[in-house]
Structure 1
Amino acid sequence: MIEDELYDAGLRQRRAMFGKAGAEDQVEHTTDLNDKLQEIVTRNCFGDIWQRDGLEVRTRSLITVAMLLALGRSHELRIHINGALANGVSVVELREIMLHSYLYCGIPAAVEGIRTLDEILAQRDAGQEFPA
């Protein structure tokens, strides 16, 4: 792996969003099969794009959750909902993304999003009352 400023910045960003399990544990337990992909994710995704001026990290999280929901990428959606919460996105905002998605992505996407958010909140024991 190429470890440089971008890599270090990416590892810091991953740690801030996903904790040790999403940062050090991911890159320290690579194999010959996935080491290059982990380098690309750490350097290019989190060390470069997530560090750019123009959008705050919180806004990037909102956009990422919406795109993953629209694409039906449930595994990554779960990861990035946790990252969004770490980046200051509220549960109400996440719920509104899921509800809004039904207009443009369909009911199955909205159902999957709400189901995923509900599972994450249950794991975090973060129940919340919502306005109507």
Structure 2
Amino acid sequence: MSEKQTAGRDNLGEFAPKFAELNDDVLFGEVWSRENELSPRDRSMITVSALISGGNFEQLTAHVHRAKANGVSKEELAEMITHLAFYVGWPKAWSAFKIAKEIYQ
């Protein structure tokens, strides 16, 4: 992952500096950069699936943008959400489709 993540520091740097550091430097700096283990595309697919499963739609928008940038096609994302609907619930799938549709249009 080539771009440096600053969302943690931008949003929580003063309030929760350690969390911001872990978010930006460890999660997005170290873990996401381990491309020999998993590609950014695969990490995006896993992350989007986990966020949908947990109903974490506030974070989903940014990660669907990242998934698109990492090469996940509209068709692949639609298939992921359709598949997940049977395991995590129809309402979560509807919510995820609303976000995905806005990003991929």
Q: TM-score, normalised by structure 1?
A: 0.69
User: Which runs of 5 or more structure 1 residues have no equivalent in the other structure?
Assistant: 1-8, 15-22, 127-132
Counterpart for residue 44 of structure 1: 26
Q: Secondary structure at the match of 1:47?
A: helix
Shift of 1:31: 4.3
The residue type paired with residue 34 of structure 1 is A
Counterpart for residue 81 of structure 1: 64
Q: Secondary structure at the match of 1:89?
A: coil
Shift of 1:28: 5.1
C-alpha separation between the residues in 2 aligned to 1:102 and 1:46? 28
The one of 82, 85, 99 equivalent to 1:102 is: 85
The residue type paired with residue 78 of structure 1 is T
Paired positions, count: 104
User: Which runs of 5 or more structure 2 residues have no equivalent in the other structure?
Assistant: none
C-alpha separation between the residues in 1 aligned to 2:40 and 2:49? 14
Counterpart for residue 98 of structure 2: 115
The reply to whether residue 64 of structure 1 matches residue 64 of structure 2 is: no
C-alpha RMSD of matched pairs (Å): 2.0
Runs of 4+ in 1 over 3 A off after TM superposition: 23-31
C-alpha separation between the residues in 2 aligned to 1:33 and 1:39? 12
The residue type paired with residue 58 of structure 2 is H
The one of 92, 95, 104 equivalent to 2:75 is: 92
Q: TM-score, normalised by structure 2?
A: 0.85
The residue type paired with residue 22 of structure 2 is I
Counterpart for residue 17 of structure 2: 35
**Is residue 102–residue 110 contact of structure 1 (8 Å, CA) maintained in 2?**
yes
Identity %: 32
C-alpha separation between the residues in 2 aligned to 1:25 and 1:74? 17
C-alpha separation between the residues in 2 aligned to 1:25 and 1:67? 19
Structure whose alpha-carbon radius of gyration is higher = 1
